[in-house]
Every structure is written in structure tokens, then in C-alpha cells.
Amino acid sequence: MRLLPAFAFGALILPLAAYANDPNSYAQPDQVRVTHLDLDLTIDFPHRQLDGQATLKLDWKNPRAQSLVLDTRDLKIAKIEALAADGKATRLQYILSPRDKQLGSKLTISAPKHPAQVRIVYTTAPTATGLQWLTPAQTADKKLPFMFSQSESIHARSWVPLQDSPAIRFTYDARVKAPKDVRVVMSAINDAKHPLDGDFKFDQPHPIPSYLLAIGAGDIAVKETGPRSAVYAEPSVVDKAAHEFEDTEKLIATTEQLYGPYAWGRYDILVLPPSFPYGGMENPNMTFATPTVLVGDKSLVSLVSHELAHSWSGNLVTSAAWRDIWLNEGFTTYVQGRITEAVYGKPLADEEALLSARALQKGIGEMPANSQKLAPDPRGVGADDSLSDVAYDKGSWFLRTLEQRFGRENFDNYLKGYFAHFAWHSITTEQMLDYMKPNLIEKYPGKMSWDEVKAWVYGEGIPKDAPLPESPRFNAIDKERSDFLAGSLAAGSLDAKGWNTQEWMYFLDRLPDAPPLAKMQELDAAWHLTGTPNAEIGMRWYSHAIAAGDRAVWSAAAEHMTRIGRMYLTTPLYRAFVKTPEGLAWAEQVYAKAKDGYHPLTQQVVENIIAKAKKAK
């Protein structure tokens, strides 16, 4: 049995076979591994497709291997060739298996002679789940079309044939041709001064997993925010974005002081159109971000702290399977809190930690038992399903508990060592625990038992002694909310003029699931929440007002749902509407108008919500 040469960590060495069982990938890395990807693509906006070729450099692990197995989804394969050292191409036979709804199609390439490189000529489908194509009318400036990718979790296979598993890391370079005046960006070093000549080249010298492969193209302007950072966005958005993210360099320097040097060179941010389905995506060198965080007061820039933190936890040290995704998201959410505390103060960091903890406390009991675990049994848990609040919020809560038990200085030293030890590798939960036991738990005996660690990682729910931060402002808001609901405090008398976004979020989050209609109408009359440009507040307000039966907010809620494609900010409104027959009919009308502006991932989630409600009806 051959070993992964990169894991030269003594007892932490894992056999290749340990990475050959990713239930979300057809790849067989114990037979052969992709080590480098060379892309040559042309962006075809009229046909909503990418045309070109992917050349894969291979490291054959098994001398008796007969084939290279890749992940694909809805790719049209033109031909596949083996490339000799002199560049001579030889056709290879292949089988493209029938499409599986979740995994796509297994591509098996016959290659008994073990070529060093294989080239695949292909075209993507207009319906590629990892790409969204927008017409000029669907963009902010309405001049040029826009295209962007979202590869996480297993959607890279819809635009590149590869081994689509987080356990497999590769370097890449790319040449991308596009129409003149369109700027192309990728998850690599980007040149802010690159002429818009339709021919772009990229190089990513660090090994990354496939879900961090990213591309974007459109009417994109650039504004520097520091010596190693810039904001990319549509021309009408770029100045606002640069102002909102002007602290980026300070955030980078702060994280370096905590956890070691930033290893990627540059950290740029691409602000996408509102249809982007997530808050942010930590693509190396180029975070993709939602415009919903551009509220003018920097109250939501913790998103940048989060995506930047991924440069250490997630991109530098990566979970080896989607079952282990809490190693990315839990560690990152913890580091995000430390960055926020250092730059914007402990009160804000504590408020954000409390918001996430209270939301998790409210919802975790409704989850299936397996989904409540940080490291669940992988059976029955899809790749996208792994990205739940448990991975983010229970994971970060566990790390805050470790910090409290072992002391901040000791835990910081441990975490810095962890990032350095596993840098540029993908690891399992069990590898992380094997490192933690001697380097933290046993190094400082009596602070935390191993049974307690296992209860956090493999247990359901949240341990009863899980610590929570204190927030005097949240305590005051709790009392005001209680008095308001009891009728002893009028809505207009709430001390809310100075509330920041997080404080409004907290006030609304802890209202009853179906609050009294009269109370919602009173609150709106006093504070004019309907029509708010702040999407975080809007999502919470509309969800509660709909649940209360306030038909007056329906039109504004529909505008919110049509304008914003970020799933976290849109799907709660669909869930609120479909609980009544009239609301379900309204939700279907809204979706019919909004669908073309949604990412395929958002479409899938909304259609599932509506279908489930109709079935129940």
C-alpha cells in the first residue's frame, strides 16, 4: 500500500486508500491522482457555455491501474487524448456513464499505458449547476452579460472534468478567451491592470481542491484597497464596495499576527450581482461576495473576515471529505470572531457569536440526529447538506470552548501550529483529533477530558456546559422585546435608534415564530421596516410579518425575493409563504418572475420548498 508522500507526519500518515472512499466522487485517487490542471476555455455568452479543453497531469499510484476515472456533470465530450512528452496526441477510448441526479456522470478513460497527461476537449451545458449566466438586464449596469461559477460543493464537475473531491489538490493554469470589454477573473492571482483584450491568462501555483476552482466574467471595474488587495465589481458598485471593504488590509495584517503569514500573495474581492446564492465564497486570491453586505456602515464586513479566515482554515488546511466540512467552516467561524474582535471590538464579536449560538440552539433539535454531529456518519448526508449551521456554529462554539478551557494564549499557539503543520493538505476529522490529543489535550492536563472532546465532535446536540459570551446590549434588548410583547412598552419607545444591524437581527430573531399581527403592524409603523435596504433585517422582518398574517408586506417581500438570490436571505420568505394556501399561490407567482435571476442552486432549493408544500397540501 503506497502512502501519500505529502503526509510525512509520522503517526499522522494516512494510506491513499483512506481518500478513495469519498461517497460524493467517482474518483479513484488510490489508482491515479491529478496533480495539475491546464485549462484553455472560450466564454460563449450567446450559447451560455464554455468551450475548450482541460489537460490533466497525472501521478499513477497503482502500476496495474487500467483507467482514469473522473467526475463530470452534463459535459459534452468531443474527444480525449493522451499526450506524449513530445506533444504527440493519441486518441483514448472512454465511457461516459448515465447521469446520476446527485453525482453526475462517471467518466472512465481507458489508459493502460499510464500517460503522463490526458487532454479532454469538451463543452459545458447551458444548465451547468456550477455556472450562472446573466443577461445585461440582470446586472447592475445593464451593459454587458455576466457569468460566474460556484463550485462548492460538487459543482466544479459541471464545468471541468476532474477528480471532484476535496481530498485531491492540484495546481492549475488557464487561458480564457472572452468578448472584448469583458474582464475575466479566476481563483488565482489577478492583474488589475490587465487590458480588456479578450485574452486572459492565470496561474495558481498552490495546490487547491476542486471546489475552490472559480471563474467570473463581465463588466467588472477594479479599485485598490491596499498594497495586496482590491475590489472588483460592476462600475456602478465598485466605489461603494471599496468603501465598505476599505479595512481589508487591516484584516489581513490582524490575521497574520494571530495565525502566521498570509500565504496566497494577494487577497481580492469580487462583488457579484445579487443572484449569487451565498454570502461569500472563499475562492483563493479572489473571494466572491454578495452585494447584500454593502449596507454603508461596515456592519456586515464580518463576511470579509470569514472569507479571509478561510485562507488559513479551509484553503490552507482543507477537509478531506464533505463529512469533515466543519474543519473548514467551524475553524473559520472561530477565526472570523477573533478578527472581528481585534479590529472592531469584543462587543461586536460577542454579539455575532451569540446570534449564531441562539439560532443553533433554536434549530438543532429539529434536525435529524446524524445531522447534529460535527462529524456525522457520511451515509445519507449529501455534499451540499453538509454545509449546515452545525458545521459553522457548533464547530466554532467547540473552538471557543477549547479557548476558554485552555486559555487564549495556549489555544492560539496550538492553532498556529495546527495551520503550519497541515498547510497545503486535506485532512480528516480523525487526523485533526490525532494532532489535538498530544498537542493540546495532553499537553495541558486537567483542562478538558477526551470524552468531552468526543462528545462535541461525535455527539448530538450541544453539550449542556457549552459557554456563551455575555452581551449587556443583547440583555437590554431581551427585556425591551419582552416588555413590547407584553404591552408594557410601545414600539415607538424601543431604544432602537442606535441599534446596529446585529442588534436588530437579535431583536427580530427572538420574536415568536408567529407574532401577533397587531404587534407587527405597530413595530412597522414606528420603525418602517418594510422596504428596508438592509437584507439581513429585511429577511427577518418579512418572515415574521408573513407568519403574523400581514398581507401589507407581501409586495415588498416579493421585491426582496426577486432582487436577492442569496439563499440564506430569500428561502426563509418562501418557507413563510408556503404555510398557507394563499401564501403558497403567491410564492409560486413570485418564483415564476424571479426564477431566471436565480442561480441553479437557489432554483433547486426554492422548487423543493414549493413542491414539498404542495405535496403536503
Binding site for Zn(2+): what residues are annotated? 306, 310, 329
* DSSP H stretches of helix in 51-95: none
Contact yes or no for 469/353 (Cβ under 8 A): yes
Own/partner long-range contacts of 529-537 (Cβ < 8 Å, ≥24 apart) = 530/556, 531/556, 533/295, 534/295, 534/501, 534/504, 535/292, 535/560, 535/564, 535/566, 535/569, 536/292, 536/300, 536/501, 536/504, 536/505, 536/569, 537/501, 537/504, 537/505, 537/508
Which residue in 392, 418, 574, 591 is the catalytic one? 392
Using CB atoms within 10 Å of the CB of residue 42, give its burial: 0 to 12 exposed, 13 to 18 middle, 19+ buried. middle
CA distance 237 to 526: 31
Torsion angle of C-alpha atoms 105, 110, 111, 116, degrees rounded to 10: -30
Torsion of CA 418, 420, 424, 430, to 10 degrees: -20
CA distances from 438 to 185, 274, 444, 445 (A): 43, 46, 9, 10
- Choosing from 152, 234, 244, 307, which is the catalytic residue? 307
Q: Which residues pair with 123 in a beta bridge?
A: 51, 76
CB 500: neighbour CB atoms within 10 A?
16
The answer to whether 256 is a known catalytic residue is no
The amino acid present at 220, given as its one-letter code, is: I
C-beta separation of 283 from 276 below 8 A: no
The answer to whether residues 352 and 309 touch, using CB atoms and an 8 Å cutoff, is: no
- Residue 607 among the catalytic residues: no
* Phi, psi for residue 204 in degrees, rounded to 5: -115, 100
Residue 454 cell numbers, joined? 468526543
Residues with catalytic roles: 307, 392
